[in-house]
């Protein structure tokens, strides 16, 4: 499947209808590329986070987690290169002096074409824009604007400047304008602070704090999950590209010269993590970077086959000692580690050095989209007698928002009381859901649409022998089991 737009649209609608994802501030018509996670989405997101956190910290011998602030001293971003190099293209109208983001201008033009029935032109222009942006082809973008006679909304003219770069970081101001001054460590503008565009820098600036207080010995890692913000230029792909998103990053600090072997190890380890969720191997592929960022000596993406095609899900980067070196230079504070292991080449300790770093960086929202896209299935269940269908989310049980639904067959005869007792006994162990409204068939369908792996039905036989029917989401098979076995069945599935 190269690009399944219908499936993508169906997933977006499903996420909204079943409380996974809503457009942000929807009552005000939403905010572009910003989304809210609903009651089901926040559970799924938390389960993904927990799964990543556990495997990257608890199950490792030498990786610890931190939670750094979103705001950082502005010099951080000067040192990291984001102030100077983290840019997107802008264009100005010479008559009105109004400045436009190039993508906004082209999108507004495409929108106008759609409303006048020119859907084909709109789609062509957007496709050309995406291709030109991907190549940083500013001359091509300007030509696209001019060839299509795009006009400024204020002056009504097409008298444009050349396209120039614009920084993707959001900024705001700290404290009151009169009093608050950020200490001048080289950051420039007094009160200006940025919303972090990656969580990684919060790890780098805490490298020595963690190493010393945690008595960490190289090789070791620092992991973090947190929000990041980017004023993205192409932001029309649901939660694939957002302006506020979450990252799960880990920086692994190593001895210089060992980066090649650690890079290969983390590449393999991270792919194994993805596949441990039971998603087939052919849904993933590596994309090795040919054009490397100035700080990297190797880099690759783990791509996933989304309904919009194979796209980046996670990045693995061999970042050399670039970041720590930069922070050492800008802060004037040594960012060195003393390695007292013996170097076999010299017979002496390795001594002081700035560690090299291998980074693993995955977008939590993209991982969410990958999990939902893979789980989403529309099934035709028609028989010669009766048309039927269902939408099912085949989540791995450990990620499912609800693990067990408890459904009394009727609202009377003491069945709700038994069901409520099952809820009381099991809800301390995993997320359960109680539902007595509607027919049992409708309740099963609703649980399928939420991705609940197990449904338990309490019926009249339960009163006689303390057994219930457990229904398995994927096979739809049902079996009779003692109530006392439910906890074990669910716990072993979510292991
Ligand atoms: N610290 C390295 C770094 O931030 P990146 O490739 O820019 O590298 C890492 O981002 C991951 O963060 C990506 O692989 C992607 O999953 C996620 N990501 C980046 N920009 C995003 C956006 N605008 N919306 C959602 N996820 C994003």
**Domain shared by 365 and 264, yes or no:** yes
Q: Report the separation in Å between the CA atom of 100 and the middle of ligand 1, taken as the mean of its atom positions.
A: 24
> Measured from the CB, is residue 88 less than 6 Å from ligand 1?
no
Residues 347 and 473 in one domain: no
CA of 401 to the centre of ligand 1 (A): 25
Whether residue 235 contacts residue 243, with contact meaning beta carbons closer than 8 Å, is answered with yes
| Secondary structure of 423-447 as H, E, C letters | HHHHCCCCCEEECCCCCHHHHHHHH
Number of domains in the chain: 2
145 CB-side CA count, 13 A: 29
Whether 431 and 365 share a structural domain: no
Query: Angle 364-375/5-17 helices, nearest 10 degrees?
Result: 100
* Residue 1 scores a pLDDT above 50: no
CA of 169 to the centre of ligand 1 (A): 13
Phi-psi region of 115 (alpha: psi -120 to 50; beta: other; left: phi over 0): alpha
Does residue 183 register a pLDDT over 70?
Answer: no
- 436 and 364, same domain (yes or no): no
Q: Ligand 1, atom 18: nearest CA belongs to which residue?
A: 363
Q: Are residues 416 and 342 in the same domain?
A: no
Nearest to 87 by CA among 169, 196, 172: 169
Candidate of 76, 133, 302, 361 to mutate for ligand 1, largest count of ligand atoms within 8 Å of Cβ: 361
CA-proximal residue: ligand 1, atom 6 (nearest): 315
280 & 406 share domain: no
| Residues 323 and 442 reside in one and the same domain | no
The pTM of this model reads: 0.87
Dihedral, 223, 229, 231, 233 alpha carbons, nearest 10: 40
Question: Which ligand 1 atom sits nearest the alpha carbon of residue 312?
Answer: 14
Q: Would you say residue 96 lies in a domain?
A: no
Any atom of ligand 1 within 6 Å of the Cβ of 365: yes
Is residue 490 in some structural domain? Answer: yes
Range of the domain at 487: 402-494
Tell me if 125 is assigned to some domain.
no
Which residue minimizes the CA distance to atom 20 of ligand 1? 241
242 lines ligand 1 (CB under 6 A): yes
Give residue 495's pLDDT: 87
Assess whether pLDDT exceeds 50 at residue 299: yes
350 lies in a domain?
yes
Using alpha carbons, select from 435, 198, 426 the residue that is nearest to residue 295.
198
- Ligand 1 pocket, residue 245 CB under 6 Å: yes
pLDDT digits (tens, 9 = 90+) for 229-284: 999 866 678 999 999 999 999 999 999 999 999 999 999 999 999 999 999 999 99
Among 377, 395, 413, identify where a domain stops.
395
Specify the pLDDT at position 294.
80
- Whether residue 315 has its Cβ less than 6 Å from ligand 1: yes
CB 398 within 8 A of CB 495: yes
Whether 167 maps to a domain, the answer reads no
Residue nearest atom 9 in ligand 1 by C-alpha distance? 361
Read off the tokens for 58. Answer: 């608890």
Q: Which atom of ligand 1 lies nearest, measured to the CA of 241?
A: 24
Q: Which atom belonging to ligand 1 lies closest to the Cα atom of 199?
A: 1
**133 domain residue, yes or no:** no
Whether 330 and 205 share a structural domain: yes
Residue 122 pLDDT greater than 80, yes or no? yes
| pLDDT band (50, 70, 90) for residue 111 | confident
Residue 235 lies inside a defined structural domain of this protein: yes
Structure tokens at 342: 């013996």
Supply the DSSP symbol for 271: H
Choosing from 395, 421, 450, the residue where a domain stops is 395
Please tell me if the CB atom of residue 303 comes closer than 6 angstroms to any atom of ligand 1: no
Write down the pLDDT at residue 292: 80
Give 197 Cα–ligand 1 centroid separation in angstroms.
9
> Does residue 74 line the site of ligand 1, with CB under 6 A?
no
- Cα(2) to ligand 1 centroid in Å equals 22
| SS3 (DSSP) at 352 | strand
The CATH number that applies at residue 475 is 3.40.50.800
Residue 187 has pLDDT above 50, yes or no: no
User: Which atom of ligand 1 is least distant from the CA of 230?
Assistant: 23
Say yes or no: 320 and 426 in one domain.
no
CATH number, residue 229: 3.30.930.10
Q: Are residues 254 and 347 in the same domain?
A: yes
Instruction: Indicate whether residue 447 lines ligand 1 (CB < 6 A).
Output: no
> Tens digit of pLDDT for each residue in 439-457?
999 999 999 999 999 999 9
Q: Is the CB of 249 under 6 A from ligand 1?
A: yes
Looking at 339, 368, 395, the residue that finishes a domain is 395
Same domain for 417 and 352:
no
Ligand 1 neighbour 362 (Cβ under 6 A): yes
pLDDT grade for 388, boundaries at 50, 70 and 90:
very high
Give yes or no: residues 275 and 250 share one domain.
yes
Whether 415 is in a domain gets the answer yes
- Of the candidates 44, 46, 13, the one whose C-alpha atom is nearest the C-alpha of residue 451 is 44
> How far apart are the C-alpha atoms of 139 and 336, rounded to whole Å?
44
Cβ of 371 closer than 6 Å to ligand 1, yes or no, is no
247 pocket-lining for ligand 1 (C-beta < 6 Å): yes
Let me know: does 324 contact 335? Beta carbons within 8 Å. Answer: yes
- Which atom of ligand 1 has the smallest separation from the CA of 361? 9
Q: 387 alpha carbon to ligand 1 midpoint, in Å?
A: 44
On whether the CB atoms of residues 299 and 292 are closer than 8 A, the answer is yes
pLDDT at 99: 83
pLDDT band at 303 (very low <50, low <70, confident <90, very high): very high
Tokens of 272: 């194994």
């Amino acid at each position: 499947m190269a690009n399944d737009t219908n499936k993508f649209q169906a997933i977006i609608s499903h996420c909204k209808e079943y409380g996974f994802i809503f457009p942000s501030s929807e009552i005000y018509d939403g905010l572009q590329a910003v989304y809210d996670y609903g009651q089901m989405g926040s559970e799924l997101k938390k389960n993904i986070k927990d799964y990543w956190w556990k495997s990257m910290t608890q199950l490792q011998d030498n990786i610890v987690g931190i939670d750094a602030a979103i705001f950082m001293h502005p010099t951080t971003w000067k040192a990291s290169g984001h102030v100077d190099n983290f840019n997107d293209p802008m264009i100005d109208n010479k008559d009105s002096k109004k400045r436009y983001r190039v993508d906004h201008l082209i999108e507004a033009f495409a929108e106008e074409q759609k409303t006048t029935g020119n859907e084909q032109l709109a789609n062509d222009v957007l496709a050309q824009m995406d291709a030109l942006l991907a190549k940083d082809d500013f001359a091509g973008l300007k030509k696209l604007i001019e060839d299509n006679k795009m006009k400024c909304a204020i002056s009504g003219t097409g008298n444009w400047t050349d396209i120039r770069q614009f920084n993707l970081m959001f900024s705001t101001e700290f404290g009151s304008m009169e009093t608050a001054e950020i200490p001048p460590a080289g950051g420039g503008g007094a009160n200006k602070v940025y919303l972090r565009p990656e969580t990684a820098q919060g790890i780098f600036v805490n490298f020595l704090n963690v190493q010393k207080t945690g008595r960490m010995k190289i090789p070791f890692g620092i992991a973090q999950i947190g929000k990041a913000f980017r004023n993205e230029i192409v932001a029309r792909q649901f939660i694939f590209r957002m302006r506020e998103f979450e990252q799960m990053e880990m920086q692994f600090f190593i001895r210089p010269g060992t980066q090649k072997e650690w890079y290969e190890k983390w590449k393999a380890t991270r792919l194994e993590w993805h596949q441990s969720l039971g998603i087939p191997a052919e849904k993933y592929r590596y994309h090795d970077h040919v054009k490397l960022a100035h700080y990297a000596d190797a880099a690759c993406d783990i791509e996933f086959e989304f309904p919009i095609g194979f796209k980046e899900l996670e990045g693995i980067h061999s970042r050399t000692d670039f970041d720590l070196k930069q922070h050492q230079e800008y802060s004037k504070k040594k960012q060195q580690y003393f390695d007292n292991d013996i170097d076999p080449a010299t017979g002496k300790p390795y001594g002081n050095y700035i560690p090299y770093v291998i980074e693993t960086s995955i977008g939590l929202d993209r991982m969410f989209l990958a999990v939902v896209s893979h789980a989403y299935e529309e099934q035709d269940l028609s028989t010669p007698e009766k048309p039927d269908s269902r939408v099912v989310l085949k989540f791995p049980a450990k990620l499912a928002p609800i693990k067990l639904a408890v459904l009394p067959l009727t609202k009377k005869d003491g069945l709700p009381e038994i069901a409520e007792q099952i809820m009381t006994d099991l809800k301390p162990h995993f997320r359960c859901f109680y539902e007595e409204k509607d027919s049992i068939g409708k309740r099963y369908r609703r649980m399928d649409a939420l991705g609940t792996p197990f449904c338990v039905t309490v019926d009249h036989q339960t009163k006689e022998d303390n057994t219930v029917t457990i229904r398995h989401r994927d096979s739809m098979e049902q079996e009779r089991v003692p109530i006392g076995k439910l906890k074990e069945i669910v716990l072993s599935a979510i292991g």
